[in-house]
Amino acid sequence: MVGIRVRTKISDGPDARAATIFVPPDSNAAINRPPISFVKILNRTIFANIKWHLSTTPIPVSPPGVADFRFENLEVWKMATEIGHRIADLADAVEALGKTTFANRLREGSYSISGILAEGSNCPTKIEFSEFVGRARGAALELANLVIFFGERDLVTEVEEATLVNMLKRESKMLDNFRQSLERAGQPDAVVA
């Protein structure tokens, strides 16, 4: 099963954006104009004026429910992506208040936990992977600090702050438990004398 990779260009002005999207093979997309419903750019706005550039390279598609990467099966990664999306949404709200620097800081952190886990999942040993998991936990704590800080500055509602902090606490505990289990599994058995 293969699909089509589509490179899109959104406008030509100073706010020009580009994205690569994937059109599944079962969409029966016309070569000149794949369905617009597949286009979602950063702030989840759908743009109508799109110049389509089709790639000739087919992209293999895994059957539904089958992960392409090792990290996609990790519950800590799934939770990290959920947190990342919520943090990115919060960054959009903070930017709407005119606090661009704060919003950019949140955006940078929004994908840090899941990115660190994805990078570390390629490690050849469990001990090495546990170091990345420890770094991901540090990123979760840093995000919790940012959310609390922004809550104190009234840039986040109390409900949003409480929800995100609780999610980050849970993620932090999951990451710590995962790190410890990797370290235990990576240790050689004790030698009995």
- What is the tens place of the pLDDT at every residue in 18-75? 444 555 555 444 444 444 444 444 334 434 444 444 444 555 555 666 667 889 989 9
Q: Is the pLDDT of residue 135 over 80?
A: yes
Q: Is the pLDDT of residue 111 over 50?
A: yes
Neighbours of 122 (CB within 10 A): 12
Q: Which residue spans of the chain are classified as CATH 1.20.1440.60?
A: 70-186
DSSP label at residue 30: -
| Positions of E strands within the chain | 2-10, 17-23, 50-60
Query: pTM for the whole thing?
Result: 0.64
DSSP label at residue 17: E
DSSP label at residue 71: G
Q: How far apart are the first and last CA of the chain?
A: 57
Q: Is the pLDDT of residue 173 over 60?
A: yes
Q: How confident is the model at residue 187 (pLDDT cuts 50, 70, 90)?
A: confident
Q: Is 149 left (phi over 0), alpha (psi -120 to 50) or beta?
A: alpha
Fold topology of 70-186: de novo design (two linked rop proteins) (1.20.1440)
- Asked whether the beta carbons of 95 and 110 are under 8 A apart, the reply is no
At 78 the pLDDT is 94
At 89 the pLDDT is 93
At 24 the pLDDT is 53
